[in-house]
Protein backbone atom coordinates (compact mmCIF):
# COMPACT_ATOMS: atom_id res chain seq x y z
CA UNK A 1 0.00 0.00 0.00
CA UNK A 2 2.87 2.35 0.74
CA UNK A 3 4.26 1.78 -2.76
CA UNK A 4 0.85 1.79 -4.50
CA UNK A 5 -0.23 5.01 -2.78
CA UNK A 6 3.16 6.65 -3.32
CA UNK A 7 3.56 7.39 0.37
CA UNK A 8 6.84 8.83 1.61
CA UNK A 9 8.27 9.65 5.01
CA UNK A 10 6.02 12.10 6.84
CA UNK A 11 2.85 11.18 4.92
CA UNK A 12 -0.30 10.35 6.84
CA UNK A 13 -1.50 6.76 6.65
CA UNK A 14 -5.16 5.98 5.93
CA UNK A 15 -7.47 5.68 8.94
CA UNK A 16 -7.95 2.36 10.76
CA UNK A 17 -11.37 2.06 9.14
CA UNK A 18 -9.97 2.55 5.62
CA UNK A 19 -7.06 0.19 6.27
CA UNK A 20 -9.49 -2.39 7.59
CA UNK A 21 -11.62 -2.14 4.44
CA UNK A 22 -8.68 -2.15 2.02
CA UNK A 23 -6.90 -5.06 3.71
CA UNK A 24 -10.15 -6.95 4.35
CA UNK A 25 -9.32 -7.54 8.02
CA UNK A 26 -10.90 -6.46 11.29
CA UNK A 27 -10.04 -3.13 12.90
CA UNK A 28 -8.50 -4.93 15.87
CA UNK A 29 -6.03 -6.63 13.48
CA UNK A 30 -5.21 -3.25 11.93
CA UNK A 31 -4.68 -1.76 15.39
CA UNK A 32 -2.39 -4.63 16.39
CA UNK A 33 -0.39 -4.29 13.16
CA UNK A 34 -0.04 -0.54 13.60
CA UNK A 35 1.11 -1.05 17.18
CA UNK A 36 3.80 -3.49 16.00
CA UNK A 37 4.95 -1.09 13.26
CA UNK A 38 5.13 1.71 15.81
CA UNK A 39 7.21 -0.42 18.19
CA UNK A 40 9.61 -1.09 15.30
CA UNK A 41 9.83 2.65 14.68
CA UNK A 42 8.37 2.49 11.18
CA UNK A 43 5.35 4.67 11.90
CA UNK A 44 4.45 7.38 14.39
CA UNK A 45 1.04 7.88 15.96
CA UNK A 46 0.11 11.42 16.92
CA UNK A 47 -2.87 11.67 19.27
CA UNK A 48 -5.78 13.38 17.59
CA UNK A 49 -3.92 13.74 14.27
CA UNK A 50 -3.39 10.25 12.89
CA UNK A 51 -0.61 7.87 11.98
CA UNK A 52 2.38 8.95 9.92
CA UNK A 53 5.04 7.09 8.00
CA UNK A 54 8.55 7.51 9.39
CA UNK A 55 11.76 7.46 7.40
CA UNK A 56 12.78 3.80 7.30
CA UNK A 57 15.51 3.88 4.64
CA UNK A 58 18.24 3.44 7.26
CA UNK A 59 16.12 1.24 9.50
CA UNK A 60 17.72 -1.83 11.05
CA UNK A 61 14.62 -4.02 10.68
CA UNK A 62 16.52 -6.82 8.94
CA UNK A 63 19.08 -6.98 11.74
CA UNK A 64 16.32 -6.93 14.34
CA UNK A 65 14.34 -9.71 12.69
CA UNK A 66 17.44 -11.79 11.98
CA UNK A 67 18.19 -12.00 15.71
CA UNK A 68 14.96 -13.97 16.10
CA UNK A 69 14.84 -15.82 12.78
CA UNK A 70 18.44 -17.03 12.78
CA UNK A 71 18.29 -18.75 16.15
CA UNK A 72 17.32 -22.03 14.45
CA UNK A 73 20.27 -23.98 12.98
CA UNK A 74 18.16 -25.31 10.09
CA UNK A 75 17.14 -21.77 9.14
CA UNK A 76 20.79 -20.63 9.31
CA UNK A 77 21.75 -23.46 6.97
CA UNK A 78 18.88 -22.61 4.59
CA UNK A 79 20.02 -18.97 4.46
CA UNK A 80 23.62 -20.07 3.80
CA UNK A 81 22.55 -22.37 0.95
CA UNK A 82 20.36 -19.64 -0.56
CA UNK A 83 23.24 -17.15 -0.38
CA UNK A 84 25.56 -19.59 -2.14
CA UNK A 85 22.99 -20.23 -4.89
CA UNK A 86 22.51 -16.50 -5.48
CA UNK A 87 26.27 -15.93 -5.58
CA UNK A 88 26.83 -18.79 -8.04
CA UNK A 89 24.08 -17.51 -10.32
CA UNK A 90 25.52 -13.98 -10.17
CA UNK A 91 28.94 -15.32 -11.19
CA UNK A 92 27.35 -17.31 -14.03
CA UNK A 93 25.58 -14.20 -15.32
CA UNK A 94 28.79 -12.16 -15.22
CA UNK A 95 30.78 -14.86 -17.02
CA UNK A 96 28.11 -15.29 -19.70
CA UNK A 97 28.33 -11.57 -20.47
CA UNK A 98 32.14 -11.37 -20.73
CA UNK A 99 33.98 -11.36 -24.03
CA UNK A 100 36.93 -13.70 -24.68
CA UNK A 101 39.68 -11.10 -24.05
CA UNK A 102 38.17 -10.23 -20.66
CA UNK A 103 38.02 -13.91 -19.68
CA UNK A 104 41.68 -14.36 -20.65
CA UNK A 105 42.65 -11.27 -18.66
CA UNK A 106 40.81 -12.59 -15.58
CA UNK A 107 42.57 -15.96 -15.92
CA UNK A 108 45.94 -14.23 -16.19
CA UNK A 109 45.31 -11.97 -13.19
CA UNK A 110 44.09 -14.92 -11.11
CA UNK A 111 47.28 -16.84 -11.95
CA UNK A 112 49.38 -13.81 -10.98
CA UNK A 113 47.36 -13.23 -7.80
CA UNK A 114 46.67 -9.72 -9.05
CA UNK A 115 42.87 -9.63 -9.35
CA UNK A 116 41.12 -6.89 -7.34
CA UNK A 117 37.53 -5.74 -6.95
CA UNK A 118 38.46 -2.48 -8.66
CA UNK A 119 39.31 -4.23 -11.95
CA UNK A 120 36.95 -3.15 -14.70
CA UNK A 121 36.08 -5.69 -17.34
Asked if residue 82 is part of any domain, the answer here is yes
Asked if residue 64 is part of any domain, the answer here is no
Q: What is the pLDDT of residue 68?
A: 76
Asked if residue 60 is part of any domain, the answer here is no
Whether 49 and 75 map to the same domain: the answer is: no
Handedness of CA 15, 3, 7, 2 (dihedral sign): positive
**Structural domain that includes position 75:** 69-112
Asked if residue 58 is part of any domain, the answer here is no
* Model confidence pLDDT, tens digit, residues 77-92: 998 999 999 999 998 8
Whether 6 and 45 map to the same domain: the answer is: yes
Whether 49 and 82 map to the same domain: the answer is: no
* Residue 55 phi, psi (nearest 5): -70, 120
Asked if residue 63 is part of any domain, the answer here is no
State the total domains in the chain: 2
CATH number, position 15: 1.10.10.10
Asked if residue 121 is part of any domain, the answer here is no
- The model's pTM is 0.51
> How far apart are the C-alpha atoms of 73 and 83, rounded to whole Å?
15
**Which residues of the chain fall below pLDDT 50?**
none
Q: What is the pLDDT of residue 121?
A: 56
Amino acid sequence: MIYEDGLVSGDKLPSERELSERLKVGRSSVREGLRALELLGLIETRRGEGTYLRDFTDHHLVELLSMFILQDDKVKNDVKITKELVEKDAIRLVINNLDRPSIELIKYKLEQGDLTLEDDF
